[in-house]
Structure 1
């Protein structure tokens, strides 16, 4: 049963069918809702109408002149009546006057003739019974929906779930925005949601968008945002979309005020989504689509992935503090030892500037700008750059990597560990048994490309001390450190050691 009773529905009732009702004008208005049926024989009845009435009359108050009849019809139409039903019983007219019909056409008012006399009281009673039953069914359905929202919250549901439920109920697009008109959640049931034009709708067009139902979401007495049902006015459902949207807004407010704050909920959902991405369980387009449901509009342009290596546990207790400013549509998650961010390329410069100035991270890595369908490659690039960055403690772009790109790919296998052991094993064993390890000296010597004076200055030691240490290391390793090939192999081994230990 629909929640709206129309003029067309009324014409199907037994009492009006018995009167052989004929539609004289206004066929396109038969879908008008009928709020009540009223009968009258006074000429100024229009001033007592409130809109939505089906007015029944024998015509005694319509008047006998063209001017009186036009004024009567204009008044009825201006009052918002759903239809004018005139009885052709002969008490006033044997036929509805042409003036009444013509004025009905001009005013867009359905004018209906009753060929036979019918008891108006019986018509009113029959319509009243139908309207009462519809109202009872509507109230029952609205209470069922209210219970549905309540059960959803009791089962641990959140504001995202409430929005999805509402979209399913109305079969249309539902948008939850915050107080700054930023889309927090959207469910585009039956269509595609255009996030780029949302702010214009919210700030400018909403008042003229008559099909949109909007209700505020209140949290602790303050407006947190608004809930929109974009085609709510036209939804063909057996409940009031206005009322159900109000109930959904209340449920969302309750969800936002639970012990799990909105930020905590967003973090939980973002972490789950990014975990699926890291595990390779989502394609790029799937990730972008699901991120949009959480309010992150990554768009169709290229994306980049960044992984920041966290500096200890100092920021672990506050997920918001792990985020580097990059823009409202960047999605981030704290994954324990690192923080991953996926953002549109438009925010890259801002991100890199903020990241390099942020001492909460021990460096990190950024991928190239890549289209969404290559986001898996972007993740791998960011991982590689972040792995190398752990040894340098600075932010690196993937394109800044050299031979490390190859070493990173070998880091999890036995070959790289065997190479490190072959090249550095004797020195590492000697350092383990010594109070004065030689590995830092070797690192400085190699970083300065075998320039002994520069290496000694970097270590704040005399050159003679450096010469002695180099001689000891040559003996331990069984090769001359003056040999360029030896230095190259040891440099690779040190980089590999750093990767494995990082």
Structure 2
């Protein structure tokens, strides 16, 4: 089907019922598209005229210059396709003011020089438009069947792109964020590179179907492929810089849906294949690793003398309120999270292995050290976690919280047993202290405190150093502990401390004097201050409901 076979003003002039019609003005607009035809004799057009409507009139209301001017401007503003006037009883010629305005805006002005039945014209053109649309729906149904067949035959994207190219006759560009990108035909590889840069620079615009300028003579129609609320790739048609068929967005959308199905199935098939690497992850967790090169070989990495990597261990724990749901629903949520997590990590350029065990997801992510710094590693993981949480809040039913802990980056696989221990401690701190960093190397003093398993020892330490403050707070509800904590964090700056606590400086002075009275006059001296700060951090651990 020729999707660019549109009904234009030029094509209408060739039809039999227009053999006595002549275009009087606006010749440069004869390629305008015509979507519908209306007979309109009123001068108030706005409620009745849409874009690309062709208007038929006898001119009964166009006898004064003022009315004609208003009438024509309304049609031009509504972006009508053109105006056809029957000459005779009401207008014997087309007025010069209408001709001048039509030429100025390239608005087709057509005159019927002999009487014509408008009802015959509307019937003829509407029949053509309806038949064309019916034919398109049949073609679209056939395309849907062919795309469905392709999605069942293979997990390859290329056949879908090839079919899209064959049906539209336009070059197809496929930009994948998680795999290979293609141009159909392949000779358009230069355009593919330009397209990738265009998408990367306009991510906010291409989040849904849009058209953008490509170069001086071409434009591009782009639509994202979205799975689990996350963009995995983009498909685009490279078009001439002129009006194209309204049918193209529908065809592109069908191809997008088929591609999404293939990508989704491919992700789940990959996940199935990854189950064979579960033993590898289990070995890392229990420390059953001995030779670095042998461990690298198990996951297809080069030996240490060939290439170096950064490795990072992570643990995610899902907390949900789906206790009364079917177990299959809960397992489905976990599986979806696993696939989504892998997709987002790949999007950020990571290689990764994942293990779903009980209510936790164990992650090993790694990347060549020449392409990442340790700082980049954490930055990209932070971005991944942000996208993951956004997706959970938008796409999963019920209340789900995600707690995460990541180890420090390391350069040896055989150290991953210790890395998972670091990730576990970071995860536990995140559960106890919402807002804590998900990275072990940012935990500060909590790195030490988490190694003290005897909470009685911590409680005694807290009681010995800040017990008087806690007792005073219980009796008076004056937050001395928070005041002292913020004061320490601001390095003794009273102005900043008062601002962060939303109190007057005079109130702060009274509180600090009370701290001095309860803790002793030397409470700000280095040896005493260190103990107080440590006790405050320990208090947040031992005072948590999980430790009570």
CA offset at residue 245 of structure 1? 0.8
Instruction: Report the Cα distance in structure 1 between the residues aligned to 2:252 and 2:195, rounded to whole angstroms.
Output: 22
Contact 1:142 1:240 in 2 (8 A): no
Aligned match of 1:72: 71
Contact 2:175 2:196 in 1 (8 A): no
Aligned match of 1:214: 222
TM-align CA RMSD: 4.3
Contact 1:59 1:92 in 2 (8 A): yes
Instruction: Report the Cα distance in structure 2 between the residues aligned to 1:231 and 1:256, rounded to whole angstroms.
Output: 26
Instruction: Report the Cα distance in structure 2 between the residues aligned to 1:235 and 1:186, rounded to whole angstroms.
Output: 26
1:136 to 109, 134, 137: 134
Q: Secondary structure at the match of 1:100?
A: helix
Aligned match of 1:245: 252
Aligned match of 1:427: none
2:181 to 175, 178, 185: 185
Instruction: Report the Cα distance in structure 1 between the residues aligned to 2:83 and 2:236, rounded to whole angstroms.
Output: 36
Aligned match of 1:44: 44
Instruction: Report the Cα distance in structure 2 between the residues aligned to 1:242 and 1:132, rounded to whole angstroms.
Output: 19
Instruction: Report the Cα distance in structure 2 between the residues aligned to 1:32 and 1:109, rounded to whole angstroms.
Output: 9
Aligned match of 1:24: 24
Q: Which runs of 5+ in 2 are unaligned?
A: 214-218, 275-291, 311-345, 352-367, 378-409, 415-548
CA offset at residue 193 of structure 1? 1.6
CA offset at residue 163 of structure 1? 2.3
Contact 1:29 1:108 in 2 (8 A): yes
Deviation string, structure 1 residues 311-360 (Cα, Å, up to 9, x no partner): 44765467899997699999x9xxxxxxxxxxxxxx99559x99x95669
Q: Secondary structure at the match of 2:260?
A: helix
1:223 to 216, 231, 237: 231
2:100 matched to 1:102? yes
1:12 to 11, 14, 18: 14
CA offset at residue 165 of structure 1? 2.6
Instruction: Report the Cα distance in structure 1 between the residues aligned to 2:151 and 2:69, rounded to whole angstroms.
Output: 57
1:254 to 250, 254, 261: 261
Aligned match of 2:197: 199
Q: For this pair of structures, how many residues does the alignment match?
A: 297
Cα 1:264/1:146, change in 2 over 3 Å: same
Q: Secondary structure at the match of 1:162?
A: helix
Q: Secondary structure at the match of 2:201?
A: helix
Aligned match of 2:123: 125
Aligned match of 2:387: none
Instruction: Report the Cα distance in structure 2 between the residues aligned to 1:142 and 1:54, rounded to whole angstroms.
Output: 27
Q: Give 1:298-337 correspondences, 5 Å limit.
A: 311-312=293-294, 316=298
Deviation string, structure 1 residues 392-429 (Cα, Å, up to 9, x no partner): xxxxxxxxxxxxxxxxxxxxxxxxxxxxxxxxxxxxxx
Q: Secondary structure at the match of 2:225?
A: strand
Instruction: Report the Cα distance in structure 1 between the residues aligned to 2:92 and 2:243, rounded to whole angstroms.
Output: 41
Q: Secondary structure at the match of 1:84?
A: strand
Aligned match of 1:274: none
Q: TM-score, normalised by structure 1?
A: 0.50
CA offset at residue 161 of structure 1? 2.7
CA offset at residue 125 of structure 1? 0.3
CA offset at residue 52 of structure 1? 1.2
Aligned match of 1:422: none
Contact 1:256 1:262 in 2 (8 A): no
Q: Secondary structure at the match of 1:224?
A: strand
Contact 2:56 2:118 in 1 (8 A): yes
2:168 matched to 1:165? no
Q: Which runs of 5+ in 1 are unaligned?
A: 268-309, 333-346, 361-502
Deviation string, structure 1 residues 464-496 (Cα, Å, up to 9, x no partner): xxxxxxxxxxxxxxxxxxxxxxxxxxxxxxxxx
User: Based on CA coordinates, which of the two structures has the bigger radius of gyration?
Assistant: 1
Contact 1:33 1:82 in 2 (8 A): yes
Instruction: Report the Cα distance in structure 2 between the residues aligned to 1:160 and 1:324, rounded to whole angstroms.
Output: 34
Aligned match of 1:154: 152
Contact 1:213 1:232 in 2 (8 A): no
Q: Secondary structure at the match of 1:130?
A: helix
Deviation string, structure 1 residues 105-127 (Cα, Å, up to 9, x no partner): 12221111111111000000001
Aligned match of 2:544: none
Q: Secondary structure at the match of 1:48?
A: coil
CA offset at residue 232 of structure 1? 7.9
